[in-house]
Structure formats: structure tokens, C-alpha cells
Amino acid sequence: MTESNEVTVMSSSANPATSSFPPQVISMNTATLIPQKLSTGGNYSMWSSHMTNLLLGYDLMGFVDGTHLCPPTNDPDYKVWIRQGRQLLLAIQTAVAGPAGSILSRCKNAEETWCKLKTTYANKSITRIVGLIDSLTKVSQEGKSIAEFMLSVKTIIDDLALIGHDTSDGKIVVHTLNGLTI
């Protein structure tokens, strides 16, 4: 077993000569690898980007996007797949806090958890779009530094871009200037 503060690789009993699956289970300490927990939809795009890069970096994205399917129960890789899936479920759950965490309580695996977060926070419904546009029109610098205000604007714009809504420069400039206090 190889260990570090961030990632633990545990050997498996699967036969590496006959297995199409890596004979190891990767355990991630998301507290040290993900700079900010997902707590509300406001930071979903950044959180999702970090988690996606982490999963791609360890070649584990297939567990959450459904492309790496569970092998049959009689396959030697089955137990490794289950263990890896549970480690990923735990990694995602520990990278989420507050209201976002409560929506995951009934999810049974990493893929279901990932999809639940995506449908909740990257929702393309008209209600979500209208809510984000409303937030953008109401965002104000009042009581914030310019940097904090711009971060608020950028977060909303990132969320709109995530769901495929037009975020042309002209509209952004108008909303940003309207929110500045003089």
C-alpha cells in the first residue's frame, strides 16, 4: 500500500494479468485536494471543475459518468469495482457540505450522486435561468470590495455559461456597471 496525505492506493486481489480493470483501489482525501466544498449552487461550476479534473487525473471519471460499467458478480473485477465505487461515493460526499450534502443522503453510488448534483446545480430549466438572470440584475457591490463584487458577478456568469445560456460581453458589462456603487 502506498500512502500520502491526499491519495491512498490499495492493492487488490484481482489478477493483473487477466484483468481489464486496474488492480488497485484509489482513495482520495478531498479535504486536501479540493480547495472548497460544494455548499450551494453558487460554487458548483468551480467545484465541478475541480472534481472533474481530479477524477480525470486518476482515470476514474467513468465511475461517475456511467462509462465504466459494473462487471458481473462472478467477474474477479467485481469486488474491486464495488470498492472503488464506494471510495468515490465517499470522496464526493466529503467534498460537499450544508444544503448540497442533504440532497445526497439517498444516493446509492458515485454515478447517482454525481448525476443528482449535476441535475440540481447545472439545471437548464427556465426557472433556473430566470433565477440566475435575476441574481445577475440584482447583484450589488454594496458593502463589498470590487474584487468580492466581481467574484459574485463571475460566479453567476459561470453558472449561466454552465447551462449553455448566452453570456455575451455587452450584457455582462451592463449588469456589472449597474451593480457598482459610486
pLDDT digits (tens, 9 = 90+) for 79-123: 999 999 999 999 999 999 887 788 888 899 999 999 999 888 877
Question: Which residue type sits at 149?
Answer: F
2 grid coordinates: 502506498
Beta bridge partners, 10, equal: 25
Burial code of 39-71, b = ≥16 C-beta within 10 A, e = fewer? eebbbbbbbbebbeebbeebebbebbeeebeeb
CA distances from 17 to 22, 61, 77, 119 (A): 10, 23, 12, 39
pTM: 0.64
pLDDT at 18 over 60: no
CA distance 83 to 111: 14
pLDDT at 45 over 90: no
Domain map (residue ranges) of the chain: 2-121, 126-179
> Tell me, what's the pLDDT at 181?
65
pLDDT at 1 over 50: no
DSSP state of 135: H
